[in-house]
Amino acid sequence: MNARLLASVTFLLLSCGACLAAPAPPAPAEASSAAARLRDSALAGTQAFEFVRSLTTEVGPRSAGSPGDAAAVAWATAKLEALGFANVHAEKVTVPHWERGRNEGAILAPWPQRVALTALGGSAATPPSGLDAEVVGVATLDDLKKLDPGKAKGKIVFVWNRMERFRDGSGYRTAVAVRGTGAAEAAKLGAVGLLIRSVGTDSNRLPHTGSMQLDKGVPPVPAAAISGPDSDVLEQELRSGQAVRFHLDLETKTFPDAESANVIGEIPGRGAPGEIVLLGGHLDSWDLGTGAIDDGAGCAIVVEAARRIGRLPEGERPRRTIRVVLFANEEFGLSGAKAYALAHEKELPSHVLAGEADFGSGRVYRVGTRIAPSALPAFKTLAEVVAPLGIEIDPANDAEGGADISPLAPAGVPVVSFDQDGTTYFDVHHSANDTADKIDPKDLDQAVAAWSALIYSVAASDVKLGPAPAPKEPE
């Protein structure tokens, strides 16, 4: 190769990495047709469920810092490679490492009963042989805050509030507050332990765990969630008017921080590869189940949506890069999300849109946004492709976009949310019942249809969606 030719090739490579081998990005009409085909072909069947089955079988539980966490990073890296993603790599993330150990409990009096319970994530341990104390019951976190310290001192506080079931999962936001701060509030009153009715909508004897806040000034007391049916029995015993005594034994342990990783793979853009559409899921799960709906399903949806876009004929491949990020440790402090925002800080202005699938395997019924208001008409046009899936557009323009997306908010990254039917999500969320059999593969396919069609439309376009307004509530 002579010097002149070499210079020409170098110029071409630098100015347009993908131009040599490929035609220009698709025109709007071509893009619209490709998006519709992505949508319809996904409805005919995808590999999304197989992704979840593989993850839940070959890895299973994968809480931050556990052996399963490391196995998941290795599995995901190999899987993205095998699925044909480009630039597959793991970005190191430091994560907390808390282990549950043995969690047991029983009502001792007036009527002895075993109780199915599990420690809240991050809970302190009880003394090695457990603790025995009288129970004082209250309905809500507000009632707990108002409790006379004389009635709580030396006791275990039990909060029996029930979560309500809604399609959008909005019962969670109110019900979960006691899980976050109840143990610190109980500690302020001189209580020795906290029991809550599981934050869940099922009636199985499988308690639901979830993180508690550890930085509330007062060191929180040991705290556990009781299954719904066991909460019923404890309520009944309290209603007898007799003193109720409880044995609580939590063998929890906090270890030094551990190493995990965000696993990343890309479908490189052909025209504007530096513009990034970020699709997220989180790779970690709680330890009780195999993390099928939380968040194997979300990872499967975004990986499969991106994979299908990447397999389009060369002429239809989108101009922007689609980056899939499988975040580390969402459950116990958003470690991966924070690390990503920090490591990619300079690149965030080039994130043209971001969204996370982290609400199970139900069908998408609505798409929400938080984008520049001036961009809403253009987005609405791009989103027409998902209308045949029965999906409406939420006009509120105040979407959160997923917990792992929230650290990108200060940079004004535009956000999309694919709102899934969560009617049964909290039946199994954070419990041992979070397993692959809970997923209907056809529902996953519908979500893949929605994500792949709309994300493709955005990635194939040059529509500018940012900067996004600040979220309504600081995350």
As annotated, the active-site residues are 330
Q: Which of residues 56-85 bind its own copies (CB under 8 A)?
A: 56-61
Residue 99 touches its own copies, criterion: CB under 8 A: no
Q: Is 233 in the site for its own copies (CB under 8 A)?
A: yes
Binding residues with its own copies: total (CB under 8 A)? 30
With beta carbons less than 8 A apart as the criterion, state whether 433 and 290 touch.
no
Q: Is residue 229 a contact point for its own copies (CB under 8 A)? A: yes
Closest CA relative to residue 466, chosen from 375, 389, 356, 401: 375
Least separation in angstroms between residue 205's CB and its own copies is 4
Whole-number Å distance between alpha carbons of 344 and 325 = 12
CA distance 89 to 457: 26
Residue 416 near residue 468 (C-beta atoms within 8 A): no
Name which of 231 and 321 has its Cβ closer to its own copies.
Answer: 231
- CA 271 vs CA 28, 315, 318, 458: distances in Å: 14, 11, 8, 13
Question: Of these, 147, 195, 432, 447, which contacts its own copies (CB under 8 A)?
Answer: 432
Applying CB under 8 A, which part among 147-155, 159-167, 197-205, 328-336 lies near its own copies?
197-205
Q: Is 206 in the site for its own copies (CB under 8 A)?
A: yes
As measured in angstroms, the least distance from the Cβ of 301 to its own copies is 21
Token pair recorded at residue 242: 């007799």
CB of 288 to its own copies, least distance (A): 9
Which of 8, 10, 87, 203 contacts its own copies by CB under 8 A?
Answer: 203
What gap in Å lies between CA 200 and CA 207, rounded to an integer?
Answer: 8
Helix spans in 293-420 (H)? 297-310, 335-343, 376-382
Which one of residues 392, 437, 440, 462 is an interface residue with its own copies (CB under 8 A)? 437
**Residue 121 half-sphere exposure, CB side, CA atoms within 13 Å?**
23
Q: Closer CB to its own copies, residue 77 or residue 435?
A: 435
Which pairs from 139-143 meet CB under 8 Å and 24+ separation?
140/178, 141/177, 141/178, 141/181, 141/182, 141/185
The nearer residue to its own copies, 314 or 437, going by C-beta atoms, is: 437
The window from 52-60, 273-281, 346-354, 447-455 that contacts its own copies (CB under 8 A) reads 52-60
Subset of residues 108 to 127 that bind its own copies, contact rule: CB under 8 A: 111-114, 116
